[in-house]
Structure 1
Amino acid sequence: MKQNVFRLTVDPQNHGERLDRFLAGAMNGFSRGQIRRIIDIGGVHLDGRRQRRCGQVLNAGSAIEVFLDDGGEPFVLDESLVLFRDGYLIAINKPAGVATQPTPARYKGTLYEALLNYLSNPNRPLDKPGLGMVQRLDRDTSGLLVFSIHPKAHGPLTRQFAEGQVTKRYLAMVRGGLAEPVGEFRSTIARKHSSNLMTSVARGGKLAITRYRVLASWGDADLVAVEIPTGRSHQIRLHFSEAGHPLLGDARYGGPSSWRDAPVPRQMLHAWQMQLRHPVTQRVLTLTAPLPEDLERLLRRYPCNGGPLPIELGM
């Protein structure tokens, strides 16, 4: 994918102008509506930081970068991937290989862009549209993601996640031989700037707790249900790797690229279940994302002791 980058500087005569109005005037061939869409999906940076407020007031001398994807297909959100939706929040079963949020290098094809397009459909009217991100999944992790779609929902949802009030369960296939069928990993973790990977550290990190239960074992691989009271980046991948049981397909953390004679091109990690309180009605919601095709195919190809898919045991 190629990308065009437009770099602009705010002149003194444009001091105090709105971001969308300034860009519509400065970029020939783009309407104000098109500019607002580019801002919405994360394609505009102001002074080095992504800016999603169309009405942001500009200061003279500020630097603006506008990232435009050149080619590539957008990700279209199929109705079958919507697990729950009301006027306040939406739950999506994210496929592996789809980035959750825009980055400076990519915004076309992200789930965030697909949701904006999905929610702008006149057949799905919103009372007060306002897409808000409250959690993330790695690009190659599949499964359950929740977004707020109303301003009243965003703050309460964000607090639930920040305060550890949301129960999050995952399914993972890891290198086999876990010593205990039920266990917990606990460490403080931080990012290594040299490799951009997470690692456990003695000082300066954030506490990460990963609890697991083995659901099925093949000897050379284990299927585990995982619960994380904390929500640190890569914590599941890191903790199992450091324990000597990296996720199948997780090359970045030492996982094998195949299992028996089956290729495993991405980490076998699926955000499976979530329990949270509805941010407006206060009703407890229990959401489940069906197994992704690649994980289900592995489990069917190599049934554990000839039995059914071992995914209903829970924690």
Structure 2
Amino acid sequence: MVFRFVPQKEHTGQRIDQFIPVIDPSFSRSKIRKIIDIGGVHVGGRRLRKCSYPVQAGERIEVHVDGRPLEIFSLTPENIIYQDPYIVVIEKPPGVETQPTPARYKGTLYEALLRYLANPFRPQDTPELGMVQRLDRDTSGILVFSTHARSHKNLTHSFASHQVEKRYLALVSGRPEKEHGEIHSFLARRRSDNRMKSVERGGKEAITRYRVLQTISGCSLLEVEILTGRSHQIRVHLTEAGHPLLGDTRYGGLDHVESLSVGRQMLHAWKIVFPHPVYGDVKVLEAPVPSDMKRVVEELS
């Protein structure tokens, strides 16, 4: 949601954290200061960082609100699956944006990793961070970043040339007719609601393989492998196959099973296999299943 404000002449010079609460009382001063701090306020199209900024008549002010908690996420050593001088592999919790959005910069995984890698003795030295993959906000699991100029090009090439094996765990409604199978289509974004869908012409090729691991209470736990990395690929393919992810209400998934509430889409990036971009050895790494997904499986069993 975006709130827009245009100061008038009489507002010129007023602090922005005082101006907005006066114009719109739904924003307390403490709340707008938090939104400014995480990067959700933009002036003239640029992200604002100072609560003391004096507004000017006629300028365009936008407040982006994503409805998520305003606390800033930080990485801990427990989130680090693997690290060396060239790459770092992260366990992303659900509910955390991978990269900055208009509503927030601080607390995204990208920004949290920059803070985690920063040299406290040389704060001016920004780590060389390369992002080669992304996960949706509510998808948990494993992410690989390059942290050195020597590794970024090779790591990017590995992902682009399909040298990386990516496996997910997905909890879905129903049970597929076949124990394992492959879904192949071409995906494109639908303009009316910004959702992805399979199309006959003009889309990008997407290939998803699945295997049924367990069936519980009318639901199935699948191991999913994607041979392509299209936006929302797993979510779309499983929905179109008649087995949407539990909790994925955007693509038709249930937000509860019987009396059990499902708080987010039950998709976890579980395992990744890739050649190290500098050393050349093959890395086989896994991200532990998060507690909320374990809880749903256990309570359905």
User: Which aligned pairs between 1:1-315 and structure 2 lie closer than 5 A?
Assistant: 65-68=46-49, 72-122=70-120, 129-218=127-216, 220-303=218-301
Residue 138 of structure 1 aligns to which amino acid in structure 2?
D
In 2 relative to 1, CA 42–282 (structure 1 residues): closer, same or farther, beyond 3 Å? farther
Gaps of 5+ in 2: 6-37, 52-68
- Secondary structure of the residue aligned to 2:284 is strand
Partners of 1:273 and 1:287 within 8 A in 2: yes
- Secondary structure of the residue aligned to 1:105 is coil
In 2 relative to 1, CA 69–298 (structure 1 residues): closer, same or farther, beyond 3 Å? farther
For 2:155 and 2:243, the matched residues in 1 are separated by 33
Shift of 1:4: 10
Residue 161 of structure 1 aligns to which amino acid in structure 2?
F
- Secondary structure of the residue aligned to 1:90 is strand
Partners of 2:39 and 2:106 within 8 A in 1: no
For 2:151 and 2:217, the matched residues in 1 are separated by 45
For 1:97 and 1:287, the matched residues in 2 are separated by 22
Shift of 1:3: 9.1
In 2 relative to 1, CA 187–69 (structure 1 residues): closer, same or farther, beyond 3 Å? farther
- Secondary structure of the residue aligned to 1:212 is strand
Q: Deviations over 1:198-224 (max 9, x none)?
A: 000111100000000000012510000
Residue 230 of structure 1 aligns to which amino acid in structure 2?
T
For 1:234 and 1:221, the matched residues in 2 are separated by 21
Shift of 1:245: 0.6
Q: Deviations over 1:10-47 (max 9, x none)?
A: xxxxxxxxxxxxxxxxxxxxxxxxxxxxxxx99999xx
What's the TM-score, normalizing by structure 1? Answer: 0.74
Q: Which moved more, 1:284-293 or 1:105-114?
A: 105-114
What's the TM-score, normalizing by structure 2? Answer: 0.77
For 1:295 and 1:43, the matched residues in 2 are separated by 30
Query: Paired residue for 1:24?
Result: none
For 2:231 and 2:149, the matched residues in 1 are separated by 26
Partners of 2:91 and 2:140 within 8 A in 1: yes
Shift of 1:194: 1.3
Gaps of 5+ in 1: 6-40, 46-62, 304-315
Shift of 1:104: 2.5
Residue 66 of structure 1 aligns to which amino acid in structure 2?
R
Q: Deviations over 1:272-302 (max 9, x none)?
A: 0000000000010000000011111122223
Partners of 1:73 and 1:108 within 8 A in 2: no
- Secondary structure of the residue aligned to 2:154 is helix
Q: Which moved more, 1:71-80 or 1:166-175?
A: 71-80
- Secondary structure of the residue aligned to 1:272 is strand
CA RMSD of aligned residues (A): 2.8
Figure out how many residues of one structure are paired with residues of the other and give that number: 251
Shift of 1:78: 1.4
For 1:213 and 1:250, the matched residues in 2 are separated by 20
- Secondary structure of the residue aligned to 2:197 is strand
